[in-house]
């Protein structure tokens, strides 16, 4: 399957322009016969929204702009980052990722870990997601994560435990640290996690980050795809925008799981009981 | 110890930042004050790369015949970078003010001159439809070594997260002339003033202490234990605290449920 990591530069607060940008990428992906296109976190809105959150929020089931993207996903899978507000939960805004396949929204993940420290202030403006669920994608079982979710490795574990063949993380990660090589130092952190998770989950890990800058903060780019077993399949440009096409072999999951028996020997019930004990103890 | 930067990476990020910010505002031209010193030279070089040399205007604004080498170096730099430049003598407007309101304070005179230069930059910004590029570095911003509403005033500040010694590294990478790179840093408030003379320590030591305090989040005690002089660490901490007002917009007295500066929160890049 051919995948596309769309390392785009969204326009801050301009959903209409960003929908066009997404459609443009989808068209290119379709022409090159891609099966999956992954856009970055808050790709439909830009990242540094603050009070703009409520202006750009949308209901993915009814918003005509969002429906345009859904309708252009015939024969394609697409991961889109947006601000979600459902009619049943008015006034609650989620930093969300939708998995769309073949003209249908298959799953929506709401970001659980909202960084709110130092330069980050997400929990000031977003409601918190409360679940990690996998779902059936056209190419296998998949789980979504949004940016900081991925750095809490329990999140990937839940997807792994529930059978994910692929973990897709969408991101708007700012670059920090300019002492190292040709990329921001923080890019190493993401790749390290991608390598480790793909290795020990024997699953694909796709990471789509954005490029561009907002309010002086430069997004680090460096999107990547790891095949099961920690094998780097592709890496996008650091800092610069990029449209990374990459072919992945879905049979690699089976191959890796025959070689490394982590999945077969996993004991989620033991982990669960241990976690339950820890959580109970902390509640007492 | 303050680590060395990857200057090529920093150049890439800063050039992209300048281009992005100007692009969002639909502004093609940049303007900045050229003092003949290191910071404005590096900023001019970055702006020339980001916007194209023909879109950058450097204003050289001496007070009378003072600092002739700086004026010469600034002019040479502009020619070398291929940017436009213009010299405006600020003596007349400064003298007429101090003739009516005399002072013996060199700092007061220096601050007034910095603000005259600022007012000229903003006027030329309107005449030229150009954005003002700030030239303050992180060292100056942290210790408050700049004139509020003077040389600190700008539309964007590309170098505000680089310590002075890192600006030197970037200058070497950008191959700026040795005459500028080797120059003793001065705020130019009066002839013979040097930053290091006035501060009583070198930029290397100052940057190491700031790096320990800011990035390293070390306490005063830990800095002293690491070998820094207690009086110096105490003085730097005092300078940082006493200059916080220069790094903030003034506080607004809150009355309503939603107030500017408190909970009316939008990005700087709003609507661009």
Question: Average pLDDT, whole number, for chain B?
Answer: 95
CATH at A126: 3.60.110.10
* A50: nearest CB among B13, B20, B265: B265
For residue A266, count CB atoms less than 10 angstroms from its CB and return exposed for 0-12, middle for 13-18, buried for 19 or more. middle
Instruction: Pick from B9, B259, B264 the residue to mutate for testing the A interface (most A CBs within 10 Å).
Output: B9
ipTM > 0.90?
yes
How do residues A111-138 score in pLDDT, each as one tens digit?
999 999 999 999 999 999 999 999 999 9
What is the C-alpha to C-alpha distance for residues A247 and A205, in angstroms, rounded to an integer? 13
Residue B192 near chain A (CB below 8 Å): no
Q: Quick check: is B14 in a domain?
A: yes
Residue B234 near chain A (CB below 8 Å): no
Nearest CA in chain B to A180: B6
Cβ contacts of B229 within 8 Å, gap of 6 or more:
none
Q: What percent of chain B has pLDDT over 70?
A: 100
Q: With beta carbons under 8 A apart, name residues in chain B contacting A218.
A: 13, 16-17
Q: Domain range for residue A81? A: 2-283
CB pairs under 8 A between A and B: 58
Mean pLDDT, residues A59-83 taken together: 97
Residue B251 near chain A (CB below 8 Å): no
Q: Quick check: is B97 in a domain?
A: yes
Per-residue pLDDT, B257:
95
Mean pLDDT, residues B109-127 taken together: 97
Of the given ranges (B82-86, B99-103, B184-188, B209-213), which has the lowest mean pLDDT? B184-188
Per-residue pLDDT, A181:
84
Total tally of structural domains belonging to chain B: 1
Total tally of structural domains belonging to chain A: 1
Give the distance from residue B85's alpha carbon to the nearest chain A alpha carbon, in angstroms.
Answer: 27
Say whether B266 and A216 touch across the interface (CB within 8 A).
Answer: no
Q: Domain range for residue B59? A: 7-186
Per-residue pLDDT, A55:
97
Residue B9 near chain A (CB below 8 Å): yes
CB contact at 8 A, A7 and A208: yes
Q: Which two tokens stand for residue B154?
A: 């700008």
Q: Quick check: is B226 in a domain?
A: no
What is the C-alpha to C-alpha distance for residues A69 and A66, in angstroms, rounded to an integer? 5
Q: Which of B81, B38, B73, B22 is nearest to B57 (CA)?
A: B81
Q: Quick check: is B165 in a domain?
A: yes
CATH at B66: 3.40.50.620
Q: Which of residues 22-61 of B touch A (CB under 8 A)?
A: none
Q: Which two tokens stand for residue A42?
A: 């808050």
């Amino acid at each position: 399957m051919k995948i596309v990591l769309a390392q785009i530069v969204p326009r801050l607060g301009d959903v209409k322009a960003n929908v066009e940008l997404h459609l443009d990428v989808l068209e290119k992906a379709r022409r090159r016969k891609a099966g999956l296109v992954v856009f970055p976190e808050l790709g439909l809105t830009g990242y540094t929204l603050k009070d703009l959150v409520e202006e750009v929020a949308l209901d993915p089931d009814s918003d005509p702009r969002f429906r345009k993207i859904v309708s252009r996903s015939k024969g394609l899978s697409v991961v889109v980052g947006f601000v979600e507000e459902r009619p049943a939960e008015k006034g609650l805004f989620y930093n969300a990722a939708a998995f769309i396949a073949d003209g249908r929204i298959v799953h929506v993940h709401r970001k659980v870990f909202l960084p709110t420290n130092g330069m980050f202030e997400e929990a000031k403006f977003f409601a918190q997601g409360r679940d990690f669920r996998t779902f059936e994608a056209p190419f296998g079982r998949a789980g979504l994560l949004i940016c900081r979710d991925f750095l809490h490795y329990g999140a990937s574990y839940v997807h792994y435990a529930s059978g994910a063949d692929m973990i897709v993380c969408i991101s708007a990660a700012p670059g920090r640290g300019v002492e190292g090589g040709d990329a921001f130092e923080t890019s190493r952190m993401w790749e390290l996690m991608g390598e480790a998770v793909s290795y020990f989950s024997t699953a694909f890990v796709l990471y789509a980050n954005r490029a561009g800058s907002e309010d002086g903060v430069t997004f680090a780019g460096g999107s990547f795809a790891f095949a099961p077993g920690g094998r780097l399949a592709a890496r996008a440009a650091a800092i610069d925008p990029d449209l990374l096409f990459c072919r992945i072999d879905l049979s690699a999951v089976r191959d890796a799981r025959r070689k490394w028996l982590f999945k077969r020997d996993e004991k989620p019930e033991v982990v669960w009981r241990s976690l339950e004990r820890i959580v109970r103890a902390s509640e007492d | 110890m303050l680590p060395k930067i990857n200057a090529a990476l920093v150049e890439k990020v800063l050039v992209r930042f300048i281009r992005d910010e100007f692009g969002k505002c639909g502004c093609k031209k940049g303007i900045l004050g050229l003092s003949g010193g290191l910071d404005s030279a590096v900023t001019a070089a970055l702006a020339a790369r980001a916007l194209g040399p023909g879109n950058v205007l450097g204003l050289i604004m001496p007070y009378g015949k003072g600092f002739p080498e700086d004026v010469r170096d600034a002019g040479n730099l502009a020619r070398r970078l291929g940017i436009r430049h213009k010299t405006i003598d600020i003596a007349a407007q400064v003298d007429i003010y101090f003739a009516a309101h005399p002072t013996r304070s060199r700092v007061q005179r220096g601050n007034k001159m910095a603000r005259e230069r600022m007012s000229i930059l903003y006027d030329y910004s309107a005449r030229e439809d150009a954005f003002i590029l700030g030239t303050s570095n992180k060292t100056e911003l942290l210790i408050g070594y700049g004139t509020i509403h003077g040389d600190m005033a700008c539309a964007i500040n590309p170098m505000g997260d680089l310590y002075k010694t890192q600006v030197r590294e970037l200058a070497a990478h950008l191959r700026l002339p040795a005459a500028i790179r080797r120059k003793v840093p001065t705020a130019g408030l009066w002839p013979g003033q040097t930053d290091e003379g006035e501060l009583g320590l070198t930029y290397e030591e100052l940057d190491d202490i700031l790096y320990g305090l800011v990035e390293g989040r070390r306490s005063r005690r830990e800095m002293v234990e690491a070998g820094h002089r207690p009086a110096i660490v105490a003085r730097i901490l005092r300078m940082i605290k006493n200059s916080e007002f220069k790094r903030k917009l003034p506080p607004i007295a809150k009355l309503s449920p939603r107030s500017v500066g408190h909970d009316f929160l939008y990005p700087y890049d709003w609507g661009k």
